Chain A
Amino acid sequence: KAGVTQTPRYLIKTRGQQVTLSCSPISGHRSVSWYQQTPGQGLQFLFEYFSETQRNKGNFPGRFSGRQFSNSRSEMNVSTLELGDSALYLCASSFALLSYEQYFGPGTRLTVT
């Protein structure tokens, strides 16, 4: 069974631009969560989607948004990029909303210049 895939793996953007990251969960998994990892703040929860609905949201500004499609694939969007948005963005999937294990993808490394 294929794992969680994230595209693109690497991205370089300029301040003020916007970016869209994609996550395809493991086949059959319906819950997708997003995390941001930076050297300073560590791993922080962004949001969680299940059945195309946002179920949980972390403490991030409104510039960070996401959505989930009917096939469970998810995208997150960051508008008006800032230098501090440079991070590894990790996506995790689980079978259901109530599930002990989350399986992470390889991440998208975003660099904002």
Chain B
Amino acid sequence: AQKITQTQPGMFVQEKEAVTLDCTYDTSDQSYGLFWYKQPSSGEMIFLIYQGSYDEQNATEGRYSLNFQKARKSANLVISASQLGDSAMYFCAMREGGYGGSQGNLIFGKGTKLSVKP
């Protein structure tokens, strides 16, 4: 079974609007971390946001926020006020080692291609 599922292969959003990218995960560990990365066409993976399994509050980093619903095992990324430069592949990932996913390898989903329209 897939550990990270991203059900939206591609999405379009109008510039300046908000968009939610879905991610569900599967783990039996109590301690894990959830991550979102952005990959522009250049190939480099850019870290966006992190949520630890023990964190009570949803993580936020500028225009990015993570809607963490532990019981539903979902970790959706919300991008507010989309910009043209947000067009890229977005990957949800999980680490199951250490406290809150501080250790171990990243397990990635298949990604969602976001296209921002002017």
User: Interface on A for B, CB 8 Å cutoff?
Assistant: 33, 35, 42-45, 48, 56, 58, 88, 90, 92, 97-107, 109
Contact = CB atoms under 8 A, between A and B. Distances in A.
B68 interface: no
Contacts of A98: 98-99, 102-103
B25 interface: no
Contact of B50 (A58, A88, A90, A101): A101
Contact of A42 (B46, B102, B108): B108
Nearest to A104: B45
A109 to B, nearest CB: 7
In which size bucket is the chain B interface?
20 to 34
Contact of A99 (B45, B102, B109): B102
Interface string B93-113: 100001111111111111100
Interface of B: 33, 37, 42-47, 50, 52, 91, 93, 98-111
Contacts of A109: 43
A42 B43 contact: no
Given A105-B44, A107-B43, A109-B43, A33 B101 contact: no
Contact of A106 (B42, B103, B104, B109): B42
A78 to B, nearest CB: 18
A99 B35 CA distance: 13
Contact of A33 (B99, B102, B105): B105
B42 A43 contact: no
Nearest to A99: B102
Contacts of B100: 100
Contacts of B108: 35, 42-44
B111 A104 contact: no
